[in-house]
């Protein structure tokens, strides 16, 4: 018979009136009162069944049940941890914990890796704020997603609403390509970093100066290529990360030419990237995701 070991504090109290043994043989000494207050599931049972959850999941679940003076809420930084706790909370009818654990879906560390899964879980739990935030993070993914776990939690109408939101964001952002007043407002004077230096090997732009960066500014071709490529990708991924990636690629391309103006271009392009990202963020924030809750 495999020997069990005790869990860490506060689940090792000598006066606890219940011992819960996890699937990996860790004993949690707990007070039935705290469990009963957290869920009527425990209140109505004379003999509480042994859990099928492992140590990590039960520890997180019990920390939500215990008073904050005895145990802090767990820090859920992996999506699997969130889904495991949500499943256990649902199993034991602990509604308040379902809501608390669901809030962990707002953790950027989780959203950046699994935005679509977070969206599906949050939407299924009718967590409005978490759903809207996850939808925004899905803009970092292509418009047409590949299969992902929890996709079955969404109805066809729910998935269509998300795809429509994504497309509207892409369309709204691409308007910035034709209406460049956002650039003119910021850059009141000519921007010599776009014109290069005497040693530049990059060709001049074939398009007429638009006066966007001040009058009489003859751009180099790399600028037109940057804008064309960035807006092409933005239609599919309308987010700040797209701008940052395209900016760094352009900076590296200019640096490869080894001309004296490269450091100035790098600094100025990152400044412009920040303006670009802020403007895209403002545009995207005006697009609404249709929710039925």
End-to-end CA distance of the chain: 50
Region of poorest pLDDT, from 25-39, 115-129, 204-218: 204-218
Please, what is the average pLDDT of the chain?
Answer: 87
Question: CA 26 → CA 63, 66, 94, 223, distances in Å?
Answer: 15, 18, 22, 61
pLDDT at 264: 79
Between 215 and 238, the more confident residue is 238
Tens-digit pLDDT profile for residues 98-116? 888 888 899 999 999 999 9
Q: Which pLDDT band holds residue 290 (cuts at 50, 70, 90)? A: very high
> Given this model, what pLDDT does residue 164 score?
97
Contact 23, 4 (CB under 8 A): no
- Round to whole Å and give the CA distance between 172 and 175: 6
Quick one: what percent of the chain has pLDDT higher than 90?
A: 52
Q: Does 214 have pLDDT greater than 70?
A: no
How far apart (Å, rounded) are the C-alpha atoms in residues 162 and 158? 6
pLDDT tens, position by position, 226-285: 999 999 999 999 999 999 999 999 999 888 877 766 777 888 889 999 999 999 999 999
* Segment 66-82, tens digit of pLDDT: 888 788 888 898 999 99
Structure tokens at 220: 């180099």
In total, the chain counts a number of residues equal to: 293
Largest CA distance in the chain: 86
Q: Round to whole Å and give the CA distance between 17 and 126.
A: 36
| Per-residue buried b or exposed e for 178-191, using 16+ beta carbons within 10 Å of the residue's own CB | eeeebbeeebeebb
CA distance 253 to 69: 56
What integer pLDDT is reported at residue 7 of this predicted model? Answer: 93
Q: What is the pLDDT of residue 173?
A: 98
Pairing mode of beta strands 18-21, 26-30: antiparallel
Answer whether 270's CB lies under 8 Å from 103's CB. Answer: no
pLDDT confidence of residue 18 = 87
More confident residue, 216 or 241: 241
Given the DSSP bridges, would you call strands 26-30 and 5-6 parallel, antiparallel or unpaired?
A: parallel
- Residue 198 neighbours by CB distance under 10 Å: 7
Q: In the numeric block, which tokens belong to residue 114?
A: 């699994």
DSSP H helices in the chain? 32-38, 40-43, 55-65, 79-91, 95-103, 108-111, 115-124, 128-137, 156-178, 181-186, 221-236, 240-255, 262-284
Sheet holding 18-21, edge to edge: 5-6, 26-30, 18-21
Q: What is the pLDDT of residues 149-186, one digit of tens each?
A: 899 999 999 999 999 999 999 999 999 999 988 988 88
Q: pLDDT value at position 38?
A: 84
Note the pLDDT of residue 198: 58
Categorize the per-residue pLDDT at 60 as very low, low, confident or very high, splitting at 50, 70 and 90: very high
Nearest to 275 by CA among 213, 217, 211: 213
């Amino acid at each position: 018979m495999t020997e069990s070991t005790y869990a860490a504090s506060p689940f090792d109290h000598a006066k606890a009136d219940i011992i819960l043994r996890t699937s990996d043989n860790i004993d949690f000494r707990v007070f039935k009162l705290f469990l009963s207050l957290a869920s009527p599931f425990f209140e109505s049972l004379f003999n509480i069944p042994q859990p099928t959850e492992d140590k990590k999941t039960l520890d997180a679940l019990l920390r939500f049940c215990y008073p904050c003076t005895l145990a802090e809420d767990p820090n859920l930084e992996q999506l699997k941890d969130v889904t495991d706790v949500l499943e256990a909370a649902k199993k034991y009818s602990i509604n308040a914990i379902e809501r608390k654990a669901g809030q962990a879906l707002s953790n950027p560390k989780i959203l950046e890796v699994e935005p679509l899964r977070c969206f599906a879980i949050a939407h299924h739990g009718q967590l409005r704020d978490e759903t809207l935030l996850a939808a925004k993070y899905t803009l970092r993914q292509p418009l047409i997603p590949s299969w992902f776990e929890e996709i079955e939690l969404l109805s066809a109408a729910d998935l269509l609403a998300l795809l429509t939101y994504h497309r509207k964001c892409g369309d709204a952002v691409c308007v910035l390509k034709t209406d460049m007043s956002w650039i003119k407002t910021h850059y009141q004077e000519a921007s010599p970093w776009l014109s290069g230096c005497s040693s530049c090997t990059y060709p001049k732009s074939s398009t007429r100066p638009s006066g966007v960066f001040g009058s009489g500014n003859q751009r180099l071709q790399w600028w037109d290529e940057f804008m064309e490529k960035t807006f092409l990708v933005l239609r599919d991924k309308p987010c700040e990360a797209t701008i940052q990636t395209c900016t760094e690629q352009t900076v590296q391309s200019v640096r490869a030419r080894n001309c004296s103006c490269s450091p100035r271009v790098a600094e100025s392009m990152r400044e412009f990237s920040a303006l670009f990202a802020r403007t895209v963020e403002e545009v995207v924030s005006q697009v609404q995701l249709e929710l039925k809750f």
